[in-house]
Amino acid sequence: MNNTCELCGFNNPKGTVTGLIIKDGKVLTFKRIEEPFKGKFDFPGGYMNVDETPEKAIKREIKEELGVDCEATFIGWFPGTASWKGKKYAVLSHAFLVEPKGELRLNKKENSAMKFFEISKLKSIAFDSNVEILNFIKKNFVFDYKTLLKLINQLDPSAKVNEVNLYKSVLDGYISKKIVNGKLVGVGWIFPRRTFLRKQAVIEDVIVDIKERGKGYGKDITLDLMRWARETGVEVIELTSGSHRVPANELYKKVGFKLHPTNHYLYFVDKK
């Protein structure tokens, strides 16, 4: 009788999930209590169960490891490897931006400690797929958050910024940052949307520090956002600007925007 498992010869990746909990620019890690990588820092997460979607898996893992429910926003796929009893195999990690709903309570049967690290200062992490995830958030989620808040408050003093929305905006589109002499002096955000007619994009919140205006930084940011739109196949870019913002309106005309006669309405949805 031949007991050879033909299916075992395929190195198809096993599904895993990874959760990123970020607060004040710091990402949560756990210290592992088991091999592989015993004693090393790791991100929350684990293996998917049978008949489990990635979103259900990350919510289960967060509940098991931290005792809280959560919301999860998909970031992307990150291939890598893991091992069991000396055998290495492929994994495919589904990374999520996680918003916990409650106080975090470490399950010490799963990990020995938890610690928040500044994203830019986290030097190593367990598993090669997590290394790629760390590289991704270092590239895309590192901001001078306090300066960014000050810039937004210059545009709208009543604005209350939820940090996780900043990271979601990166996932939904593109943020252009203007940095001069190591200091963040301006930002702009663009996000795509598909209509019945075409692929469009909306420019939102082009902001330059009041002390740095008149130096062409707003134009640099706007042109960078337009470049991103062109490279991603956008056909039409739209934006709105208050009529009182005279320099901004003149800038948009100079770089090619046409004033479109329309009424612009807002409806604030009540949460009942």
Residue matched to tokens 């000396």? 86
Identify which of 7, 175, 11, 207 has the alpha carbon closest to the alpha carbon of residue 91.
11
- SS3 assignment, position 211: helix
Segments in the chain below pLDDT 70: 1-3, 272
Residue matched to tokens 């039409």? 236
pLDDT of residue 85: 85
Q: What is the DSSP string of 11-73?
A: -PPEEEEEEE-EETTEEEEEEE-SSSSTTSEE-SEEEPPTT--HHHHHHHHHHHHHS-EEEEE
Tokens of 106: 């470490």
pLDDT of residue 81: 96
Predicted confidence (pLDDT) per residue in 217-233, tens digit: 999 999 999 999 999 99
Q: pTM value?
A: 0.89
pLDDT of residue 59: 98
- SS3 assignment, position 186: strand
pLDDT of residue 243: 87
Q: What is the DSSP string of 225-249?
A: HHHHHHHTT--EEEE---TT-HHHH
pLDDT of residue 2: 59
pLDDT of residue 3: 65
Which distant-in-sequence residues (6+ apart) come within 8 Å of 206 by Cβ? Answer: 186, 187, 188, 218, 221, 222, 225, 239, 248
Predicted confidence (pLDDT) per residue in 170-210, tens digit: 999 999 999 999 999 999 999 999 999 999 999 988 999 99
Residue 245 CA to its chain's centroid (Å): 30
Q: Which long-range contacts (CB under 8 A, 24 or more apart) does 160-163 make?
A: 163/22, 163/23, 163/24
